Amino acid sequence: MNAGAAVRAGEATGPIMSASLMCADLLRLGEEIASLRAAAVDSLHVDVMDGHFVPNLGLGTDTLTAVRRAGDGPVDVHLMVADPLRWIQAMGPLADRMAVHAESTATLFRCVDAMAAAGVRPGVALNPATPLAALEEVVERLHYVILMTVEPGYSGQRLIPEMADKVARARELVDRRNPGCSIWVDGNIGPDEVRGLWRQGARGFVLGSTGLFRGDGRYAERLAGLRAVAR
């Protein structure tokens, strides 16, 4: 059994629904987290953006520390930064899963190994136009892969339709090289997208304003609906 299959042993085979906190009401973040946990969200997704790798600023170390203080449950960190090693060292102890962008570093092995050394389940994220070949050399060390279905940096974009085929091809790659590795998708994920991308092989879904956050707090209802269409 390879490393990825080992860390996945015993995990649920159903969809993993991860709530993107950049789309939450940040003025009420503690209440939002409590509501999401009560609604049985599978994990909280923390987008870290430095204004260099992507043209936006996102959540940082202090916010991640506060998220951890807000209660138990898995926390995923998505590093969209130009110097990922520095952020891995700072945030690794606070995360359960962490993904770095293949495009952000010339030393991807070093980043993956640093995440594993920090006790984090390591992942790699790819921008929409980045070929799957960027995963070839490291895929056997990964717990998950995040395929961006929009250009990273801002919420509310339309899903790029070519990404459905990319999910299917990524599934073929990991099935050959690391069957325990999960394929996640991030960007404009609603019920129709969950239904279609689940069939293509996606198992993790990062949910933002399209699928979860509508300002009315109906998280349990929406999560149940999304899980239903995945099955």
Handedness of CA 18, 19, 22, 27 (dihedral sign): negative
Instruction: Name residue 49's beta-bridge partners.
Output: 80
Which distant-in-sequence residues (6+ apart) come within 8 Å of 37 by Cβ? 71, 73
Q: How far is CA 229 from the centre of its chain?
A: 20
Task: Point out the residues that are catalytic.
Answer: 47, 186
Write the DSSP assignment of 126-151 as a string of letters: E-TTS-GGGGTTTGGG-SEEEEESS-
| CA–CA separation, 65 and 28 (whole Å) | 16
Phi, psi for 103 (deg, rounded to 5): -75, -15
| CA–CA separation, 198 and 87 (whole Å) | 31
| CA–CA separation, 13 and 162 (whole Å) | 26
